[in-house]
Amino acid sequence: MDEAQREKILAEVRSTGVHTMPVPTPFAVGRINCYLVEGDPLTLIDAGPRSNQSLAELDIHINDAGHRVEDIQLVVATHQHIDHIGLIRTVAERSGAEVAALDKSVARLATFGTSSDSEDEMAVQLMVRHGVADEIANTLQRLSSSYREWGDTVDVTMPLAEGSTLELDGRSLKVLHRPGHSPSDTVFFDEQHRMAFGGDHLLSHISSNPLISRPLDGSPGRTRSLVNYTESLLKTKEMDIDLMLSGHGDPIIDHVRLIDKRLESQVRRSEKIHAILAERPRSAHGIAEAIWGNVAVTQAFLTLSEVIGHIDILTDQGRVQESEVDGVLIYEVSD
C-alpha cells in the first residue's frame, strides 16, 4: 500500500470518528497503532508501551484529535503484549477511564509481574527441553525481564465475554476471541461499518508470530499457538469486512487474500520442516538452525515457537513423532 492510499483510507476512517495514532515502541516491530474512537464513551483502543516518549506522542495525537488524555472514558486492550498494554494503567489513572479486556485475560493482566516471570520460566524450560543451550536460554530470560519496565499491571473493570457486544456511541463492537499470536488476542468487529479492530491478529506487512505462552487459565504447560492461530485465521476469513485496523502497519483491505497467503506459507513451512526431519531426526532448535542458520540469541524463542507450532501440526497429522535423548526432545518422521 502506498502512502497516498494509506492516507485516503485513514482519512475515510477518521470521518467515521476513528483516529489512527502510531506510537513508538522499543521493539523490532516498530510503531504500534492506537485508535481513538470518538463518542460517549471516548474510547482508546490499546495504549502503547510504558515509556515517556510513547506517552508524549500519545498525548499529542489525542490533542490533535481535539481531546485530552484526561477525557478518555474507556480503554480497550486487544491482547496482553506490553507494546499494547504498557500505558493503560497510566491513562486510566489520569482519566478515571474504565478498562475493558477479554474476561479470560483479566487475571493475566492483573498480575503482570508474576505472570511475566512465569512466562519466562516456561520459556527457559521449553528452550532447554528443545535443544537450546542453557546459556542462551538464561541470557534470553535476563533480556526478557529487562523489557518488563515497558509493561505494567492492568486492572480490568469491564471484562468482556467472547461473543458479547461492546456498545460505544452508535457503534457496536462484537468481541471475538482469536487466540494464536497471544492467548488473549481479541478482534472487535463493527458489523455496521464492515470493519474490525484486529490488534496483532493479522498484520499487513509481516506474519504475526504465534508465540508460545502460558495458558490464560493458569494451567501448567504451554499453548498450542500455531494450531490455535490457524483455527482463528479460518474464523476471521469468514468475516464480512472491508477493513481491518491492525496493531502495526497499514490497514488491511483484503483480509481473505492476506489470510490465504499466511495459511499457504504455513503449509510450505510445515512441509519444509517435514523434509528436514526426513533427512535425519533433530530437536526443534536443530530444525530452527537448519532453516535460519545460526539463530541470533534474541530470536531463539521466536524461532523455536514457530518450529514447535509446526511440530504440533505435523504431530496432529500423524506425520512426526517424538522421542527423548538426554533430556532433549527429538523429532523424526513417521510417514
User: What are the residues binding Zn ion (CB under 5 A)?
Assistant: 83, 200, 247
Q: Tell me the closest approach of the beta carbon of residue 301 to Zn ion, in angstroms.
A: 16
41 vs 247 by CB, closer to Zn ion = 247
* Phi, psi (degrees; rounded to nearest 5) at 64: -60, -30
30 vs 66 by CB, closer to Zn ion = 30
201 vs 285 by CB, closer to Zn ion = 201
Q: Tell me the closest approach of the beta carbon of residue 74 to Zn ion, in angstroms.
A: 20
Q: Tell me the closest approach of the beta carbon of residue 49 to Zn ion, in angstroms.
A: 9
Report the distance separating Cα 330 and Cα 286, nearest Å: 9
Question: Strand pairing partners for 101?
Answer: 159
122 half-sphere exposure, CB direction, 13 A CA radius: 18
* Phi, psi (degrees; rounded to nearest 5) at 310: -70, -35
Q: Tell me the closest approach of the beta carbon of residue 81 to Zn ion, in angstroms.
A: 5
Spell out where 30-143 has E strands: 32-37, 43-45, 74-76, 98-102
Q: Tell me the closest approach of the beta carbon of residue 209 to Zn ion, in angstroms.
A: 10
Reported residue count of the chain is 335
Q: Residue 321: how many CB atoms within 10 A of its CB?
A: 15
Q: Where are the alpha helices (DSSP H) in 150-193?
A: none
Measured on CA atoms in the order 30, 118, 215, 165, is the torsion positive or negative?
negative
Q: Tell me the closest approach of the beta carbon of residue 85 to Zn ion, in angstroms.
A: 10
26 vs 39 by CB, closer to Zn ion = 26
Is the preceding peptide bond at 41 cis, omega within 30 degrees of 0?
Answer: yes
